[in-house]
Structure 1
Amino acid sequence: MTGHANGSSNLTVVIKLGTSSIVDEKTREPILSNLTLIVETAARLRKDGHRVIIVSSGAIGVGLRRMDEDERPKHLPRKQALAAVGQCRLMSLWDSLFEHLRIPVAQILLTRNDIADRIQYTNAQNTFSELLDMGVVPIVNENDTLAVAEIKFGDNDTLSAITAAMVKADYLFLMTDVDCLYTANPRNDPSAKPIEVVSDISSLRADVSTSGSALGTGGMGTKIVAARLATSAGVTTVITRSSKPGNIHEIVSYLQKVREDPDAASALAPPPLHTRFLPAETPIHSRSFWLLHGLTPHGNLYIDSGAYAALLKKASLLPAGVVAVDGHFGQQEAVRLFVVEKRSATALDGDFPSHAEEPKEVGRALVNYGSKEIDLIKGARSSHIRTILGYADSEYVALRENIAFFIESEISSGSASPALR
């Protein structure tokens, strides 16, 4: 599988298209002119030796048109039925357009359940790799026909970031209805200035946003979250205008020339307007990314600062370091990790955690015991586990290889981050 951008001419490019890029908001008709430009852009990238993946929304939007319905339904079974109708027609459309250029495509439908198991996650990576080696353009979408809230990615921006991390992409393009991020909403603030490069996503102000479309589920906020996920995995993430798909090829070509010869930048024509989120200097490993973003946490573990310090030094989590448990979860399920100051046993009897403590969420863990068992052994020595539970599957609540942490700057700012230590 292609590595991250490192001067090699063979790059992996993931292009995420929202519903408003594919389906007209008023007529619900596919925007054939835009789709054709996207196909031509993918073909140009492939001609340059790059590999292309498209994350395509639009199944429900296309389903609405096919069934002559005016509004996106709120009832889940209706949404899923429309997605089933629309996905079939959407893939037929992509296949037909790419066939004109003799480029094969493949459909990949995902839910969180499909990557929650480590083996399945690895299998998905292998499938992507094989398809790209075969010269196929994978078309990825969330499996809206079956997905319920618990296993949904929430939006295709998040799905595209997880896909980009899975395939170790060099670039993730998030296509939207503006050229780039602005310091304010350019639609109603003439003083808004473009933000061309973002090296620290946590420094972005909360008011950097634009409104989303009526058909889609994501706005600019979901794109910033997606950029946070992708850049943590070493993927350069770009926001640019969806109505100008040719921008993708121009931006990739420009960045490639600058990477090969930094001094050439001044002589080159500037690329189309876009916002580029720079990748993390030390990208996280695939397994750590999976722990944070492939799994849905089912509860919370509160650990003391001493245990946290030991974990940062690569130790595993002992029951002695666990202060409290919240939620109901089973063995080998994911939980959120919070750090709190250790308190006496009597202080733990009340409502936990108290508002005064403000526990800091620091990461995720895959636990060796369920919530009931951990609640019984918390604060105890490992040698006492068998006495307390009657058995001892492990001396650890969680192994270090099954724990992943956010970076310090994100923890202190209180934002949920995909970037890991």
Structure 2
Amino acid sequence: MHSTSRTFAAQALPTWRRAVLKVGSSLLTGVDGGLSDHNARGLAAFIAASRAAGRDVVLVSSGAVAAGRSQVPENSGKADGLVQRQALAALGQTRMVALWQSLLDAPVAQVLLSHDDLRNRRRYLNARNTLLELLRLRTIPVINENDTVAVEELKLGDNDNLAAIVAALVDADLLLIASDVDGLYTTHPRLDPAAQPVDRVAAITPEILAMAGGAGSVVGTGGMHTKLEAATKAAKAGVATVLFNGATHATVAELAHGRFRGTHFAASGTRLAARKYWLRHAPGCAGRLIVDAGAVRALLNGASLLPGGIVGVEGEFTRGDLVDVAGIDGNVIARGLCQYAAVAVRRMLGRHTREIESILGYSYGDTVIRRDDLVVFQEVLA
């Protein structure tokens, strides 16, 4: 639904009891490059009002690198390399959390997550349990990527997608993305005077993705495209997403009254089970199993993966790791938690399940990947 002017229409927020609020770096950075509470004050007031109404808010906050950059001398060299950015994240992380604590009456709890925490099932569940306990204790979790030690995440990751994963992790009803743009436009509003606001998106199609521009701020790592990626992830988990301008104080003030101006991305009609959602969206896999056509058909029909259908193993992984499953043509059709290490699967290729114990000297069960630990990407074969 497009507005007929450059102004977004006022809308009612979706019904929610628990929300994840993502705040971009540009909203926390002042004109001097350091942290500023100019925009954070209004967002903190919204969090306080929501908690007073009995709702939960989890905060995913960027800004650590920008906060750290303002603390180093100007003549310290160009701080654009990975190692330099990791150091700046370490320097700025405490300052970013302290900013939020200064604006909120409730205790603030810092939680740093990396993609490894979300890929490893045990660590994923530990993170979930910790966050749910923090909410039970009526604290406000402030989450950021663990930029100081992460390599892949700092180069490729962004807090928009992290916020979507966290929304599923804590069973949120709503993902709120506070940015320095008013919402999604049909084209880049700074470049095209004819760009029109998009008030509501029922589904993120290739046409919607084509509307996304690049990053709008020098202090952030994401742009509109990452926000659409995040909204897509959230929608598949049954979570609606609202994108709004966190620098427009009138818009932020309306949030506490259940209204906003921006873009509403609807949740999909079906909610994936939390386990299946994690399997589908967990970043990165340790290896790949190549299966024959018969195994492909069996997986599409909801079966577990047995050793008899596996014809190849790529990469090295251990028991419990997340692995991709691909057909002989190379197309990834599924992913799941492997019951056996790569070295063991190689010894079982094409063999019957009753032979597992005689081949290995032990058995973790008849299946290489149980169907409950497997998600199939049916759209790949459509």
Shift of 1:121: 2.5
Give the percent of matched residue pairs that are identical in Structure 1 and Structure 2: 37
d(CA) in 2 for partners of 1:127 and 1:280? 27
Corresponding position: 1:287 with 2:293: no
Q: Aligned AA for 1:319?
A: P
Corresponding position: 1:244 with 2:215: no
Per the alignment, in what secondary structure is the counterpart of residue 368 of structure 1?
coil
Q: Deviations over 1:366-420 (max 9, x none)?
A: 11223343334333322344555565443222111211234x44x368xxxxxxx
Equivalent pair of 1:172/1:238 in contact (CA under 8 Å)? yes
Corresponding position: 1:78 with 2:81: no
**What's the counterpart of residue 159 of structure 2?**
156
Shift of 1:230: 1.3
Let me know the Cα RMSD of the aligned residues.
2.8
> Structure 1 residues 180, 312: CA separation in 2 closer, same or farther (over 3 Å shift)?
same
Q: Aligned AA for 2:244?
A: T
Per the alignment, in what secondary structure is the counterpart of residue 372 of structure 2?
helix
Corresponding position: 1:45 with 2:50: yes
Equivalent pair of 1:111/1:151 in contact (CA under 8 Å)? no
Shift of 1:10: 6.1
**What's the counterpart of residue 365 of structure 1?**
336
Shift of 1:222: 1.3
Q: Aligned AA for 1:81?
A: A
Q: Aligned AA for 2:58?
A: I
| Aligned partner of 1:174 among 173, 177, 191 | 177
Shift of 1:140: 0.9
> Structure 1 residues 159, 10: CA separation in 2 closer, same or farther (over 3 Å shift)?
closer
**What's the counterpart of residue 36 of structure 1?**
41
> Structure 1 residues 404, 47: CA separation in 2 closer, same or farther (over 3 Å shift)?
same
Corresponding position: 1:215 with 2:228: no
Corresponding position: 1:199 with 2:202: yes
| Aligned partner of 2:234 among 230, 241, 257 | 230
> Structure 1 residues 13, 211: CA separation in 2 closer, same or farther (over 3 Å shift)?
same
Per the alignment, in what secondary structure is the counterpart of residue 33 of structure 1?
coil
> Normalization by structure 1: what TM-score?
0.78
Q: Deviations over 1:5-46 (max 9, x none)?
A: xx997611111011111113x521223210111111212222
d(CA) in 2 for partners of 1:55 and 1:119? 22
**What's the counterpart of residue 379 of structure 1?**
350
d(CA) in 1 for partners of 2:129 and 2:319? 27
Q: Which runs of 5+ in 1 are unaligned?
A: 1-6, 255-270, 341-356, 414-421
d(CA) in 2 for partners of 1:151 and 1:115? 15
d(CA) in 1 for partners of 2:288 and 2:205? 24
d(CA) in 2 for partners of 1:385 and 1:130? 41
Equivalent pair of 2:322/2:336 in contact (CA under 8 Å)? yes
Per the alignment, in what secondary structure is the counterpart of residue 32 of structure 1?
coil
| Aligned partner of 1:55 among 60, 65, 88 | 60
> Structure 1 residues 246, 159: CA separation in 2 closer, same or farther (over 3 Å shift)?
farther
d(CA) in 2 for partners of 1:147 and 1:83? 11
Shift of 1:305: 4.0
Q: Aligned AA for 2:39?
A: N
d(CA) in 1 for partners of 2:333 and 2:93? 38
Corresponding position: 1:309 with 2:297: yes
**What's the counterpart of residue 404 of structure 1?**
375
d(CA) in 2 for partners of 1:122 and 1:80? 26
d(CA) in 2 for partners of 1:108 and 1:171? 20
Shift of 1:161: 0.9
| Aligned partner of 1:146 among 145, 149, 160 | 149
**What's the counterpart of residue 108 of structure 1?**
111
Per the alignment, in what secondary structure is the counterpart of residue 201 of structure 1?
coil
Corresponding position: 1:23 with 2:46: no
Corresponding position: 1:88 with 2:59: no
> Normalization by structure 2: what TM-score?
0.86
**What's the counterpart of residue 273 of structure 1?**
261
Q: Aligned AA for 2:348?
A: I
Equivalent pair of 1:142/1:153 in contact (CA under 8 Å)? no
Equivalent pair of 1:54/1:139 in contact (CA under 8 Å)? yes
